[in-house]
Structure 1
Amino acid sequence: MDAKTGSMGGCPMHEGGVRALLGRTNKDWWPEMLATEILNPNGPTNPLGDDFDYAEAFNALDYKALKADLTALMTDSQPWWPADYGHYGPFFIRMAWHAAGTYRTADGRGGANSGQQRFAPLDSWPDNGNLDKARRLLWPIKQKYGNNISWADLFILAGNVAIESMGGPVFGFGGGRADVFEPERDIYWGSEDKWVNEGVQTRIDPAHGFEQLEGPLAAIQMGLIYVNPEGPGGNPHDDEGMARDMKETFARMAMNDEETVALTAGGHTFGKAHGNGDASTLGAAPAGGDLAAQGFGWVSNQAHGGIGEHTVTSGIEGSWTNVPNKWTENYFRLLLDYDYELVKSPAGANQWQPINPKEEDMAPAAWDPSIKVPTMMTTADMQLKRDPAYRAISEKFRHDHEAFKDAFARAWFKLTHRDMGPKARYLGPEVPAEDLIWQDPIPAGTMPSDADVAAVKKKIADSGLTVSQLVKTAWASASTYRKSDHRGGANGARVALAPQKDWDVNEPAMLAKVIDTLNGLRGSMSLADAIVLGGVVGLEVAGARNVPFTGGRGDATAEQTDCDSFDVMEPQADAFRNYLPRKLAVKTEEMMLDKASLLGLSVPEMTVLIGGLRVLGANHGDRGHGHFTKRSGQLTNDFFVNLLDMTNVWNAVDGSGDEEYVATDRKSGSECWRATRADLVFGSNSELRAVSEIYAQNGAEKKFHDDFVAAWTKVMNADRFDLTYAKYHK
C-alpha cells in the first residue's frame, strides 16, 4: 500500500440478494462504446507510470494560486454554457456532491476517491445530467496545473471554493485522491435494464421496506445518486415513502438525520434545478453520443440549443431560495413559512410552489435578474417540513443559524472525504486539526525496539497459544481492511473492541483468550503490534522463514470507535476462514472474490493465502473442510497437492445445498477429505486451477512458502498509512 495508487472497485457481492457480475455493464447500456479494455487484459494501466507519486506531486502544487483561479472561474460565464445568475458556484457544488455521493457504507465503494465521474456509467447517469459541462469548464485549470492536481481532488476542491465564493461555510479540505484512468467496470450499480427517467419504479417493495434493496446498493433507482426528488417512483403524494427512502439511502451513505437535513438545506440554498423546456428534444448521454459531440451529452436539437434559459436537466424548474447565489438563512424560512401546492414544471416534472409568495420572496430568473419567478421545493425538500423527525431538526436550524452553518460544513466535509480513509492520507494546508469519529482515529504508535520484539516473540511462543489461534487472531484483525474506502485493518487493534470482538466470524471466546494472553505478554508494545507479531510467531512455528514485521501501530479506544459504522463491515461470509453461517443468494466463491478484491489481492495472492490458511488450521471453529493435510499446523502446499489428486472423486453432501462436498478414494470408496465450494473452486475454475497447479508441482514448496509470506505481509500492512504517508506530513 502506498500513496501512488487510487482505489479501484472490485466484484460487487454483498449479502442481500446481489447477483454478482450480473449487473448491467457499459456494453449493455451503450453497445457501440469502444471496448478499450481489450488492451488491458491484466487490469487497468496508468499513463503516468507505476512510479508516479501523486502525493508528492500534490505537495508541490501552488495551492493558493489554484484556489484563486477556481474563484475567478466561478463568475467567468461562457457563452457555450452560461452561468446561472452569473455564477457557476451551484453547478460545481452539484458536481462535487454527485462525485462523492455514490459512496456507500456496505462495501465502501463509490465516492470521489478516484475521479470516476469522468467515466461511464457515472458520466451518463440521468442524475448526472449536464455535469459533463462542469467538467469541461474545469479543463483549462486542470490543463494548467497538470499532474499536481488530480481530477478527483479538483472536483471536490471546486465544490469547496464554490461554497466559499458565495459566502458559505467550509470545514476544510484534504487532498490526496489519485485518479484512475478507466471505469471501475466490476462495481455493481444494479441489475435493472432501464434508467430512473424511463418510468421504472423504486427498487424496494413498499410492503417490505428496505429489506429487499440489494445489499450494497443505496440509491433508490438506477441512475440516481440518492432518491427520486419527485417522490418514490415519481409519486409526489407518498410522503411516508419519501421520508423512508431519504432516511435509509442517506444512512447507507453514512449520514444520519441531522446530516441529511443540513446537506439538503445547505446544498439547496444555492442554485436551481433545470426543466424549462422539452426533455424529449435532448440527445444521448455522453457515453452514447457521436464522435462530433466530443463527449458532450444531452445536447438539445432545439433552435436555441437548449442552454441558459432553456436548459433541461432533472426536469424540475426553479430555485429553492430567493437569493440563489449567496449563502442565506432563507431556505428554512421559505420552506416552513409558506404553504405549497403541487404544480408541473415546463418539462412536466412534479414540484411544489409556494402559494401567494411575496415579491421579495421570489427569485430572479437565472438568465435575467430583472424578471421575478416563484421559488420551488421538490417532494424530497417537503419532507424536511412534513416528517416529524426532519421537521424538528429543520426548526432547530431555522432558529439557530450558527448551528446550521456548522452542521452543513461538517456534513459537507464528511460527504466529500468519507471514502478517503484515515486522516494520515489527507494532504494540503486546509486539513482540519480536529479528529472526527468517522475518520476512525488511531493514536500514534511507538516503534518497538528489536530487543522488545524479540522478547515479546519469545513470550508468545512460550505462551501455549496454538498456531491456529495466533494466525486466526492476526487474520481477524488485519483482514477487515478494504481498499475501497481504506477502512479497517490491524492498526488500532479494533478487533479487541465492540463490535468486532463480538462478531461470530471472529470466534469471540477464542479471540478473548488470545487477546487476554497477548495483553499480559506485550509489555510496552501496542496490542495492535502484538496481534500481528503473534501471527508472525504462529507462522514461524509452522515453519515459515523470514516473515517480516513492522511495528509502530497504535491502539484505538472505545471512544474513538463508532460501533454503528463498523457494524456494516461484519462479514456475512469469509472464504479465507471457510466461514459461511448460512447459505446466501450469492455464490460462496463470488463472495470470496469480493473479499479478495476489497483486500486488494490478485488471483495468485488470494489462491496462495487460502491454501496456506487451510493447512494452518485457520478455519472458523476449527472446521475440517479444506484441511487437506496430514501435517496440520505446518505451512505446506498440501492443500493444492491433495485438491488436485486424481485418485479422489468429489460429490456433494446431501442436504448441504451444494455447499459441502466429500472426497472418496476411487478404488476403496473410503472418505478422504471434506470441502466447501470455496475449496473446490480452486480445482474447478480453469483460471484458479492454473494457479493451483503452480503450487502443487513437485519442487513448488519454496515458491508457495515465499508467495504466502509475501501475501500475508501485504494484508498485515495494508493499512499502514501512518508509515507510507509520514514523509508528506513533515
Structure 2
Amino acid sequence: MEDNKHSNSPDDLSKCPVNHEALPLNNGDTIVEGNHDSASNHSSSAGKCPVMHGGNTSTKSNVMEWWPNALNLDILSQHDTKTNPLGQDFNYHEELKKLDIEALKKDMHALMTDSQDWWPADWGHYGGLMIRLSWHSAGSYRISDGRGGGGSGNQRFAPLNSWPDNVSLDKARRLLWPIKKKYGNKVSWADLIVLAGTIAYENMGLKTFGFAFGREDIWHPETDTYWGAEKEWLAPSDERYDNVDDPKTMENPLAAVQMGLIYVNPEGVNGKQDPLKTAAQIRETFARMAMDDEETAALTAGGHTVGKTHGNGDASILGPDPETANVEEQGLGWKNPSHSGKGRYTVTSGLEGAWTTHPTKWDGGFFEMLFNHEWESVKSPAGAWQWEPVSIKEEDRPVDVEDSSIRHNPMMTDADMAMKVDPIYKEICLKFMNDQEYFSDTFARAWFKLTHRDLGPKANYFGTDVPQEDLVWQDPIPAGTTNYDVIAVKNRIASSGLSISEMVATAWDSARTFRGSDKRGGANGARIRLAPQKDWQGNEPKRLAYVLSVLEPIASEFGISIADTIVLAGNLGIEQAANAAGINILVPFAAGRGDATDDMTDADSFEPLEPLADGYRNWSKKDYVVSSEELMLDRTQLMGLTAPEMTVLVGGMRMLGTNYDNTKHGIFTDKVGALTNDFFVNLTDMNNSWKPTDKGLYEIRDRKTGVVKWTATRMDLVFGSNSILRSYSEVYAQDDNKERFVNDFVKAWVKVMNADRFDLN
C-alpha cells in the first residue's frame, strides 16, 4: 500500500462527547479560505476589492464571526438538497440498476496497468496508489460517532482532500475521472473510490471477499465532522491525549493520533521511533474503528504487502495543497518542482521505499522481509525516520519504479516494526507467515469490513459481488412479518394499562440510537431489550423492563416482532394524545421490523451508540464542557433531523410527559398527555418572565405576581432565546397552527421511527 501514515475504544466521553466543530463553540474558524494570490486580478488592498473575501469557500457565516458563542445551527442543514446538482428526484439505487458492473470492473482492471505520462504508475501498476486511495477514504471512519469513512465520497472535499496524509491522492482521483465520466450517474464517486482498492488487490492476485455498491455522494464538505482542535497540521499528538503514554486517554471521538493523519505516525509516536509505543497507539486507534488485534495485524501487513512509500526528494519544496493551490492547478496540489516530480522523484509521506521484493504482487513477502532480517534506523532522502535491513541479498531488494536494472533497499515504518516487537501482534503475524491462505482470507474479510463499515446493513448493499454470509458487524436483523391485524394489536396495547409517556418514551429510546453517519442503531431489531442497551442509564432500565414485560406477551400473542410492537405502542400513545387535544390523526406505520438476538449483536461495538444526553427527553448523564443544547444538536444531526423537526419534536415530547425520570422541566402546560402546542404558546408568552436558579435551572414566573408557574432547562429555553429556533417556535405558537403542529410532529416522529428501515427505500 502506498504511503500509509498509519498502521493504526471509546472510553469516558465526559470531557466532550461530541464533534466540537459542528457545534456553536467552533469559534467561527474556517476550514479553508479562498486563495487571493498576487497573480489574481484582485487588488492587494481589501478596500479596493469589489467582492466579499472568502464568500465562496468559507465554511463560517458572518453571524458566527460576530457572535462566536451563538448557537450555530449549520450542523442541521448539512448537505441541503440545493447543493446537489442532480436534483431532489435523483435516485442513485435506480441508477445502479442500469450499471454494467462487469464492464466497469473490466475498465478498472485495465486502468491498473495503463500508466499515464502525466502521473506514471510505479512499476507500471497503479495498485498501491488505488489501495491507498480507498484505504484513506474508508479509514477516516471512527466508531465513536460513526462519522468519517468512505460512504459519501467526502474525500473529494476539504479538509480531507488536503490532509498531509492524503498527498497525491488527488492524482488517484484524477486517474479515475475518465471512468467516472464514462459511467456517469450510474456509479457514485464514493463507490468508485472504494472499488478502486478492491480491484487493485484482485489485479495483484488477492481473492477478495466481495464488494457492494450503494454509497451515495455528498456535494458539500462535511464541516460537521470534528477532526480535532489543533490549529496546525501534524501538531504533536500530546494535544489530543491526557497522557500520550496511555493511548486510551485520546480525546473522543477521535481515532487518529495527529491532525491530518488517518491512523498513527509512521515515524513513531510524535516522530520518535519506538515500536512498542507505536503498537499501543495502533491497538487503540484500530479499536476505535471496531477492529480487533487479528484484523489490525492483517490490515497492516496486507496494506504493506504492495506499493511503496515516496520520499525521494525535499518535502519542503512541495507546493500548496489542492484547496489552496492556484487556479491554474485545477484542483491538484503539492506540486513538486524537483526533477520530474513524479515516478522515482515523488514525495508523499517523506518515507522512501517498498516493503517487499515484489510490490505489485499479493504474497507473503511482508512477513518474510520483516522476520527474516534485522533492521536499523535510517533517514529517508526527505529526512523521515524509517527502518532498513542491516544486510539483504541483492535479489531480495525491490527494483526501481522506473528502471528494473536498479535495486533499492526495502523499508519498514515504525508501525510495521510494531508487528515484530509487540508480542501479540508478533504471534498473529507469525501465524499468517506460516499459513498464507489463512492470512489472505483474514485480510480479505478485514478489508471488506474496513471498506463497508459505514455502508450500514446489507439492505443497503447492491451488486453481483455482495457476499451471502451475514457478518455480526453488519448488525443483521431477520425479516419481520407484515401480515397481521395492526388495529387488533393496537387495541390490545390500549388495554394493557401502559401510559402515554411510557409507550412514547420507550419507542423513542428504541429509535433514537440511529446514526445517519454509519447507518447503525434504530428501532429495527429491538436491540433496546438486549445488552448493552437494556442497561443504559438513558433508557431508564427499570421503566424499560416494565414496559417490555407488558409488550412482549402481546407480540408473542400476535406472532409479530417486539420491534414492531414497541413502535406501534409509541404511535398509539401519540394518537391518544392528539385525540386528547381535539385532533384525530392516524400515525403512519410500516410493519416488517424484525427482532435481533444476542448472537446477532456485537455488544462491544454498540457501546459507543449510548446516548450521553437527550434534549428530547430533557436529560444529560452528567455535565460536559459543551452546553446541553449543543449536545442536542449533535444528537439531532446524527438522527438526520432538521432544525424545524427538532423544534416540533421537543415541543411535542414535553407535552407528552416523556421527560427522563418524570421531571417537570419544560412541561409548560396543565394538560400533560395532550398533544397541544402549549409548550410554544407559553414559551413565547410575554406575560411570563424567566429567572435562573442556583441549580442551573430556570423558573418561569408570572410577570405580575411573581408566582412560579414552571421550571425549565437550557434545552427548553433555547427555543425561545435563539433567533432561528424562536422563529420556528412562533410558528407553532400561532392560534391557526394547532393542527399543523400535530401534523408536523407526526411526520417528524415517523421519520425517526423509520430512519433505519432501509428496506422501505
TM-score w.r.t. length of structure 1: 0.94
Say whether the 8 Å CA contact 2:214–2:462 is kept in structure 1: yes
Q: 1:296 aligns with which of 332, 353, 356?
A: 332
TM-score w.r.t. length of structure 2: 0.90
Q: 1:651 aligns with which of 678, 683, 691?
A: 691
Match status 1:703 vs 2:702? no
**Corresponding residue SS for 1:352:** strand
Could you tell me how far apart the structure 2 residues matched to 1:201 and 1:362 are? 37
Query: Could you say if the C-alpha distance between residues 16 and 410 of structure 1 is closer, same or farther in structure 2, counting changes exceeding 3 Å?
Result: farther
Could you tell me how far apart the structure 1 residues matched to 2:401 and 2:28 are? 37
| Match of residue 504 from structure 2 | 471
| Match of residue 626 from structure 2 | 586
Could you tell me how far apart the structure 2 residues matched to 1:377 and 1:222 are? 23
Task: Within 5 Å, give how 1:191-590 maps onto structure 2.
Answer: 191-196=229-234, 203-206=240-243, 209-210=246-247, 212-237=249-274, 239-302=275-338, 304-449=339-484, 452-522=485-555, 523-544=558-579, 545-590=585-630
Q: 2:201 aligns with which of 151, 163, 179?
A: 163
Could you tell me how far apart the structure 2 residues matched to 1:314 and 1:643 are? 56
CA drift at 1:23: 5.0
Task: Within 5 Å, give how 1:36-51 maps onto structure 2.
Answer: 36=56, 43-44=80-81, 45-51=83-89
Task: Within 5 Å, give how 1:655-694 maps onto structure 2.
Answer: 656=695, 658=696, 660-694=697-731
Match status 1:723 vs 2:722? no
Could you tell me how far apart the structure 2 residues matched to 1:407 and 1:71 are? 23
4+ runs deviating over 6 angstroms = 37-42
CA drift at 1:567: 0.5
Could you tell me how far apart the structure 2 residues matched to 1:353 and 1:719 are? 50
CA drift at 1:172: 0.3
CA drift at 1:579: 1.1
5+ residue gaps, structure 2, are: 1-11, 37-53, 62-73, 580-584
| Match of residue 93 from structure 2 | 55
Could you tell me how far apart the structure 2 residues matched to 1:242 and 1:483 are? 32
Say whether the 8 Å CA contact 1:23–1:191 is kept in structure 2: no
Say whether the 8 Å CA contact 1:653–1:661 is kept in structure 2: yes
Deviations 1:532-558 (A, max 9, x none): 000111112212512111101111111
CA drift at 1:651: 2.0
**Corresponding residue SS for 2:399:** strand
Which amino acid in the other structure matches residue 598 of structure 2?
A
Which amino acid in the other structure matches residue 302 of structure 2?
G
Say whether the 8 Å CA contact 2:32–2:57 is kept in structure 1: no
Say whether the 8 Å CA contact 1:419–1:485 is kept in structure 2: yes
Which amino acid in the other structure matches residue 487 of structure 2?
A
CA drift at 1:61: 0.6
Could you tell me how far apart the structure 2 residues matched to 1:35 and 1:129 are? 27
Q: Please, which moves more after superposition, 215-224 or 427-436?
A: 215-224
Q: 1:27 aligns with which of 26, 30, 53?
A: 30
Say whether the 8 Å CA contact 2:35–2:326 is kept in structure 1: no
Which amino acid in the other structure matches residue 647 of structure 1?
N
Say whether the 8 Å CA contact 1:16–1:212 is kept in structure 2: no
Could you tell me how far apart the structure 2 residues matched to 1:384 and 1:481 are? 36
**Corresponding residue SS for 2:743:** helix
**Corresponding residue SS for 2:206:** coil
Could you tell me how far apart the structure 2 residues matched to 1:543 and 1:82 are? 67
CA drift at 1:31: 4.7
Say whether the 8 Å CA contact 1:169–1:408 is kept in structure 2: no
CA drift at 1:456: 1.1
Q: 1:139 aligns with which of 163, 166, 177?
A: 177
Could you tell me how far apart the structure 2 residues matched to 1:102 and 1:167 are? 26
CA drift at 1:187: 1.5
Query: Could you say if the C-alpha distance between residues 211 and 682 of structure 1 is closer, same or farther in structure 2, counting changes exceeding 3 Å?
Result: farther
**Corresponding residue SS for 2:351:** coil
Q: 1:636 aligns with which of 676, 686, 690?
A: 676
| Match of residue 595 from structure 1 | 635
Which amino acid in the other structure matches residue 556 of structure 1?
A
Say whether the 8 Å CA contact 1:204–1:210 is kept in structure 2: yes
Which amino acid in the other structure matches residue 248 of structure 1?
E
Query: Could you say if the C-alpha distance between residues 277 and 105 of structure 1 is closer, same or farther in structure 2, counting changes exceeding 3 Å?
Result: same
Could you tell me how far apart the structure 2 residues matched to 1:564 and 1:282 are? 43
Could you tell me how far apart the structure 2 residues matched to 1:308 and 1:37 are? 33
Deviations 1:240-298 (A, max 9, x none): 43112111111112211111100010010000000001111110000010011111101
Say whether the 8 Å CA contact 1:322–1:375 is kept in structure 2: yes
CA drift at 1:434: 0.3
Deviations 1:199-219 (A, max 9, x none): 675632436724543321111
Query: Could you say if the C-alpha distance between residues 28 and 92 of structure 1 is closer, same or farther in structure 2, counting changes exceeding 3 Å?
Result: closer
Match status 1:16 vs 2:21? no
Say whether the 8 Å CA contact 1:100–1:110 is kept in structure 2: yes
Say whether the 8 Å CA contact 2:34–2:56 is kept in structure 1: no
Deviations 1:91-110 (A, max 9, x none): 10000000101111111111
Q: Please, which moves more after superposition, 494-503 or 19-28?
A: 19-28
| Match of residue 6 from structure 2 | none
Query: Could you say if the C-alpha distance between residues 299 and 240 of structure 1 is closer, same or farther in structure 2, counting changes exceeding 3 Å?
Result: same
Query: Could you say if the C-alpha distance between residues 637 and 199 of structure 1 is closer, same or farther in structure 2, counting changes exceeding 3 Å?
Result: closer
Could you tell me how far apart the structure 2 residues matched to 1:586 and 1:225 are? 26
Could you tell me how far apart the structure 2 residues matched to 1:25 and 1:677 are? 22
Which amino acid in the other structure matches residue 119 of structure 1?
F
CA drift at 1:29: 4.3
| Match of residue 4 from structure 2 | none
Deviations 1:359-414 (A, max 9, x none): 23211111211111111100011111111111111111111211111110000000
Number of residue pairs matched by the alignment = 704
Say whether the 8 Å CA contact 1:271–1:324 is kept in structure 2: yes
Q: Please, which moves more after superposition, 368-377 or 16-25?
A: 16-25
Could you tell me how far apart the structure 2 residues matched to 1:24 and 1:129 are? 28
Say whether the 8 Å CA contact 1:574–1:595 is kept in structure 2: yes
| Match of residue 5 from structure 2 | none
CA drift at 1:27: 3.4
Deviations 1:606-627 (A, max 9, x none): 0000000011011111111111
Which amino acid in the other structure matches residue 708 of structure 1?
F
CA drift at 1:305: 3.0
